[in-house]
Amino acid sequence: MNVYLEVYGCTANKGDASLILGLLKENYYNIVKHIEDADVLIILTCTVIGTTEQRMLSRLRAFHETGKKIVVAGCMASIQTSLIKSIIPDAMILPPQYSHHIIGLLNDKKVSFTEKNKTVFSKCFDGLNAPISIAEGCMFSCSYCITSLARGELKSYPINEIIKDINAALKQGCKEIQLTAQDTSSYGLDTNQNLGYLLSSISKINSDFRIRVGMMNPFTALKNLDSIINGYNDPKIYKFLHIPMQSGDNDILNKMDRKYTVDDFLIIVEKFRKNYPDITISTDIIAGFPSETDEQFNHTIDVIRDVRPDIVNITRFSARPNTKAKEINNRIPTHIAKKRSKLLTNICSDISKENNKRHIGKKYNILITEKGKNDTFVGRNENYKPVVLREKINLGNFTNVIIEEATSTYLVGRLI
């Protein structure tokens, strides 16, 4: 049977896709690159914001028009089943917790779903990057977040199973391990373990590869902060911290149910920078959260200018179904949210470019991870900064470069 797979959304979804692909290949299904060649279509959906949901609905309509068998997986399959069925009445639904049931679903629509550790199943990784799930779900629910509703409560996977997954990825030729979870710093809070110990354990694997740690919530990062920082010490681990602030105003953070303060966020960044001065800081901001005043938004700008993060992912507030934030009064008009988002984007772009200019003249050993535009190659330095090379070099190689140019989003290097 020929199967076509389409994947959207976060690294966790990509990790689920590698599991589904692994099981399909293990059971002798043929994976095809074009919809017209497939007997079955599988789509891993994302529904984190409204615009993403609309894109998913458009794809579902296009899939339905083919008349083929369709499996809808990902977060929409967990919490928006009725919406899916309104477009594809006979769609087979596969929530993210049950990705391992893909074979049974294809053979029998009346599968009895049971949850198992994703780490015990075969995976198939496409390329040099391997998304490795270390946990499923989350230990709390922010007021605006639909993903926590989709993926359920926190379930951390055993370290030995995670390491087995990583070793399997390395045997397939992967060079960059992307540790993923809804909140990586919550790892082990349900099993008496912690992220720092996990990182130390993974670093002991005897192979030449790199590790990117996924997003951490400041609330859970504080619980094992010293251990996590120590866990970053190995050179295999990119000095890259994704720590969403979401707002620079404590009242807004409280309405978001984030369970930390601006000062908590600042403490985490300060401690990481004390230990790793050149660490790349990535954060997230929601512009136009309900009831956010101009003054409160300006507090966010003040913190951004103070912290000067390298990367800021800015999203305008999007009311998601079944979330508390959807019911909050004083919705910010779209034109104001857009204005705030644009202003913050310009500020962050300037900061990022100034930060990147500091790398000009420095030498790095980088891992070549992908082909870029116009016959270029892209690698990552120790701080996960993308470095563009105009010379030809093999993917997966480690090579020494000197940085000659810098933009707001990447560095330009030359082989040395």
pLDDT confidence of residue 109? 62
In whole angstroms, what is the distance from residue 251 CA to residue 328 CA? 14
- Taking alpha carbons only, the member of 190, 242, 196 closest to residue 216 is 242
DSSP state letters, 151-178? H-B-EEPPHHHHHHHHHHHHHTT--EEE
Q: Please name each of the domains of the chain with its CATH number.
A: 2-107 (3.40.50.12160), 125-357 (3.80.30.20), 363-415 (2.40.50.140)
Residue 44 has phi, psi (to 5 degrees) of: -95, 110
In whole angstroms, what is the distance from residue 374 CA to residue 205 CA? 36
pLDDT confidence of residue 237? 98
pLDDT confidence of residue 141? 85
Is there a contact between 36 and 68 (Cβ–Cβ < 8 Å)?
no
pLDDT confidence of residue 68? 96
Mean pLDDT for back-to-back runs of 10 residues, the chain (416 residues): 95 95 96 96 96 97 97 96 97 95 87 91 94 93 91 95 97 97 96 96 97 97 97 98 98 97 98 98 98 98 98 96 92 97 98 98 97 96 98 96 98 97
In whole angstroms, what is the distance from residue 128 CA to residue 174 CA? 4
